[in-house]
Every structure is written in structure tokens, then in C-alpha cells.
Amino acid sequence: MISLLGLVILSFIITGICMVPFIDLLFFLKNRFERKNAELVKKTETPIHDKLMKSDETTPSGGGILLILILVILSVIYAFFSYSVDKISLIILLFTLLSFGSLGLIDDVKLILSRRKGKFLGLGRKQLFLAQVVLAIIISTMLFFLAGLNNLYIAGLGNFIINIWYIPLAAFVIVAFSNAYNISDGLDGLSAGLLLICLFAFLALTSRLLDLTLATFIGIWIGALFAYLYFNVWPARIFLGDAGAFAFGATLAVVGLLTGKILALAIIGGMFVIIAASSLLQILAKKILKRKIFTVAPIHMYFKYVGWEEPKIVTRFWLAQGLFAILGIWIALLSK
């Protein structure tokens, strides 16, 4: 426990020191590109959403790149000096972080070069989704064959050995959380705060399960997020970007899968599920019913549209996430 807390503090200090010059670098790159390409602004398909996000246009995006680097470097250094590390679990976690982070980075770069406003994807939606599915299947296969995971436990119903069907189930969970996190990354401090609460819940579970490797990885992640959130709360000085959003969502899913608590993952990450569901319902309603359910989606943007102040929305979502985390821990302990 002492070494774990030390790593949390070390991660926080390193991230805090690196964050300010990194923000300055992003500002420099952003301003330099916009001066040279001020005329390359494409039309938007989401005018209401973009109007609500207009105040964020001057804030640089890409903080996830720094956080991913720090998390990977500190995890590898810890693994090098520790003899008790479960190398398979750590490899799966780092592969998830780097693969989905690279996918998001490609998306971020193409988005910058195309100079489009709003929550658009630099890659085509079908291309992006296909790449996510391929990566998720690879990771799920690693979980099945290397980590030996092949079961689904539901409290009150029992343990179900689903064998090869574990791969598509885990892949669905990974893709779902990757996109859910990206969708939630729309208000200052919202997604990072929700993730931080989820990670504290899983830190409690992994500590109880005596999974030192997973607990250490989560601890390093928590320290980096604390430092990042200081600069991301309203009014934000930096955003995560797609590299961080895709990587963090997918890695959160893998953390939940490695604990063997899939149901608890869905509850602990309850606010991510609700946010993603509101966006999915909006898309389905427009395609099937030819009309919107909400004036604007996802749901946190709807609350902003009806007049809620941004800090109030974020704080109340954090509170709701805290309750989901407590409920998820309780359910996970029932299924131990």
C-alpha cells in the first residue's frame, strides 16, 4: 500500500510539472496552424451542439497524449523493478492504451488538418468503428487466451462459463466504453471527473482482490488524472482529445474485464452508459422516427441547452457517478 500511494503521488507530480509546458506547446501549434489556415473551415452538421461549444474553440486539445505517455512510462518502469507484476495483464492494459490512443491520435491529426468545427471525426465514422472493432477483438482474444477469462458472473444467478463467446462480449464492452467516454468528453471536467470516480471504485475492488498489478496501474492513472483535472475543470485550459478519450474508455473497460466484474463495470461506469445511451437514442430516433427525442444530445448538452450552468451539470453528474460507483462496488462484492 505504501508503494502504491507513493506511485500515485509521483504520477501526480510528474504530470503536474509537465502539463504547463505541454499546454503552451499545444497553444503554439494551434495558433500557428489557425493563422495559416483560417479560411479552411468546413460546414457543420450539428449547429445547436456547436453553438453550445463555441466558447471552447480556443482551448487546445491533446492532453491525453501526455497522460498516455506518463502512464505507459511509469507502468513499464514499475514492472521492470518489481518481481510481483502480472506481465500478461500489464501487456494487455498497455496494448489497449496505446492501440486505441494511436487510433484517436490519427483522428485528432486528421481533424486538425481538415480544420472542421464541432464534434466531428477526422476519420470516417465507418472507418473508425471498424478499426475499433478490430482492436477490440484483438484485445478480447488476448483476454481469453492469455489471461484465461471465459466467464460471466451475475450476482444472484451464478457463474456462467461462456467460452469463446467471451470474445464478442468483451469486444462489445470495449468498443461501447471507448465511444461512451468520447461522447462524454464535452463539458469542462466532466469525463475526467467521472473516470476518476470509476477508478477509485476499481482501486477499492482490486485492493480487496489483492491484484497488485491492476491496483498499481490504476494508482498511476489516478495520480495523472488528478493533475490533468486541475487544468481541465471549468474554465478548461486543455481538453483530452480523441487519443485520450478512446484510450481511456477502452482501458477502463479492460480494467473492469480483468477484475471479472462485467456487471459491476456497467454500474460503476453508469454515467458513461447513460450519456452514451442518450446519444444512441437520438441517432435511432432520427433514423427510424425521422425526428429528435432531445433538442440536442448527448444528455449533458441538453441540460446546458435548457439553461443549466456548466459547473452545475458537471458537479451533479459527478455526484450521480459517485452513487453508481458505490452501488457497483456493493454488487461486485456480492459476486466475489
DSSP string, 165-200: GHHHHHHHHHHHHHHHHHHHTTSTTHHHHHHHHHHH
- Interval 291-317 mean pLDDT: 92
55 within some domain: no
Give, for 64, the enclosing helix (H) or strand (E).
helix 63-81
Over its C-alpha atoms, the chain yields an Rg (Å, rounded) of 19
pLDDT of residue 35: 61
- Interval 167-178 mean pLDDT: 97
95 within some domain: yes
pLDDT of residue 186: 84
β-bridge mates for residue 160, sequence order: 152
pLDDT of residue 118: 44
DSSP class of residue 7 equals: H
The three three-digit cell numbers of residue 129, written as one number: 468503428
266 within some domain: yes
pLDDT of residue 36: 60
β-bridge mates for residue 154, sequence order: 158
Please give the Cα distance from 197 to 319 (Å, whole number): 9
- Nearest alpha carbon to residue 325 among 194, 209, 232, 142: 194
49 within some domain: no
Asked if the model's pLDDT at residue 236 lies above 70, the reply is yes
- Nearest alpha carbon to residue 234 among 272, 182, 190, 184: 190
Identify the domain containing residue 130 by its residue range. 2-36+61-334
- Interval 222-227 mean pLDDT: 97
330 within some domain: yes
Averaged confidence pLDDT in the chain: 87
pLDDT of residue 58: 74
- Interval 84-108 mean pLDDT: 92
- Interval 258-273 mean pLDDT: 92
The helix/strand/coil state of 152 is: strand
Domains: count for the chain: 1
Asked if the model's pLDDT at residue 189 lies above 60, the reply is yes
